[in-house]
Copies of this chain bind each other. A is one copy, B any other.
Amino acid sequence: MKVNGRHYRTIWLNEKDRSTVQVIDQRKLPFTFAVLDLRTVEEFRAAIQDMAVRGAGLIGATAGYGMYIAALTSPQEDALAFIEAAAKSLVATRPTASNLAWAVNRQLAAARSCRSREAMIRTALDTAQAIADGDAEACRRIGEHGKAVILELAQKKKRGEPVHILTHCNAGWLAFVDNGTATAPLYAAFDAGVKLHVWVDETRPRNQGASLTAWELGQHGVPHDLITDNAGGHLMQHGLVDLVITGADRVARNGDVANKIGTYLKALAARDNAVPFYVALPSSTFDFECTDGVSSIPIEERDPGEVRFMTGRSADGSLATVQLCPDETPARNWGFDVTPSRLVTRLICERGLCEASEAGILGLFPERKA
């Protein structure tokens, strides 16, 4: 998507120096746009661990390129042993990120099929590019399928009135290689000339809406307003939201959606006001083993400091962290909640739209039938 008017992905090979991979350093957003050079396996490890890159799709793509750099920097003798050690160290950076292990294993299998170090390097680069391109393409398709939903809503609006779309958290292109999931339909519709306006939930406690989604939309020129997480119900009650789209962290076989904490409250408000509620996700986010999301998806409890403190830019331009509550106040901090499938209008994935139900999902994924 666009940054300062120029097209970017979140990760790319430096075409002038093919021993360098470049990423947007997301720790500095939204206040500074900085590009980080990654040239060694150690630098890849650090970028993933310190969250210079984050988001399911982007972590996978970064691991893919990291394995290419492993091949490129491997010794002439025992290249495969070096690559295998790199694989292990990359996977250890964020053990629960399923796309990371998936990308690393895909690279490992490719390396093991090669006869020479030179072939390993060539294959690793092809595989890394294929992983990144695959992610961007899945998101692009999600955008096309979702665009149709927005176009239909646009036709019902009076001339000149925008389609108002509410989103929660950041399921934007910054979390993937390009396009994003929840944002892909917005970008596709906007680029096709549809008049739209986005309500951006700030998304406490980590403020991914205020810091990342607002930045993305602003850079791409999509009209938007930042709101508190508390505001969406009021907006829907007064006809100011035509559509809600969020991403997902995991979708169960029965269509229940685990996503950033607070998503469930927006789904309830959408239902109460007859606003369509869509969830966009790549097919890798389905958990076909999980038959009931509400009762069985484990919900991570995170550092209470995320609730008690907040970080932003202070008046002198430096980043600063402030405490919001008394010293002795305890806090609890769940990262996600589960929206029951009955509140979800449709799921959007790269294969198309489906009902949020086992029958609906298996209609798109017939190979998953028991």
Interface residues of A (CB under 8 A from B): 30-31, 200, 202-205, 207, 210-211, 214-215, 218, 224-235, 237, 260-262, 264-266, 268-269, 272, 294, 299, 304, 307-315, 320-326, 328-334, 336-338
Contacts and interface: CB of A to CB of B under 8 A. Distances in A.
30 contacts: A30-B329, A200-B329, A207-B324, A210-B308, A214-B329, A215-B325, A215-B329, A218-B329, A226-B304, A226-B325, A226-B331, A226-B332, A227-B307, A227-B332, A228-B262, A230-B262, A230-B337, A231-B262, A233-B262, A233-B264, A234-B334, A265-B268, A268-B269, A268-B272, A310-B312, A310-B322, A312-B323, A314-B322, A320-B320, A320-B322
A234 B322 contact: no
Given A210-B324, A264-B233, A322-B320, A202 B204 contact: yes
Nearest to A227: B332
Considering residues A204, A321, A325, A331, which has the most beta carbons from chain B within 10 angstroms of its beta carbon?
Answer: A325
A145 to B, nearest CB: 28
A91 B325 CA distance: 32
A331 B307 CA distance: 22
A204 B218 contact: no
A326 B204 contact: no
Given A225-B332, A269-B264, A202 B326 contact: no
B312 A30 contact: no
A260 to B, nearest CB: 8
A321 to B, nearest CB: 7
A322 B322 contact: yes
A214 B294 contact: no
A204 B233 contact: no
Given A214-B326, A230-B262, A315-B321, 19 more contacts: A31-B326, A200-B329, A202-B204, A202-B324, A210-B329, A211-B324, A218-B326, A224-B329, A226-B330, A229-B230, A229-B262, A230-B337, A231-B334, A231-B337, A234-B334, A235-B334, A264-B269, A265-B265, A310-B322
Nearest to A226: B331
Contacts of A338: 234, 237
Nearest to A331: B226
Which 8 pairs, one residue from A and one from B, show the smallest C-beta to C-beta distance? Answer: A230-B262, A312-B322, A234-B337, A226-B331, A268-B268, A233-B264, A30-B326, A210-B325
A30 B324 CA distance: 9
Given A294-B237, A326-B30, A228 B321 contact: no
A322 B330 contact: no
A338 B235 CA distance: 11
B234 A264 contact: yes
Nearest to A215: B326
Nearest to A228: B204
A329 B237 CA distance: 24
Nearest to A264: B233
A112 to B, nearest CB: 43
B320 A314 contact: yes
A165 B320 CA distance: 33
B233 A337 contact: yes
A224 B338 CA distance: 24
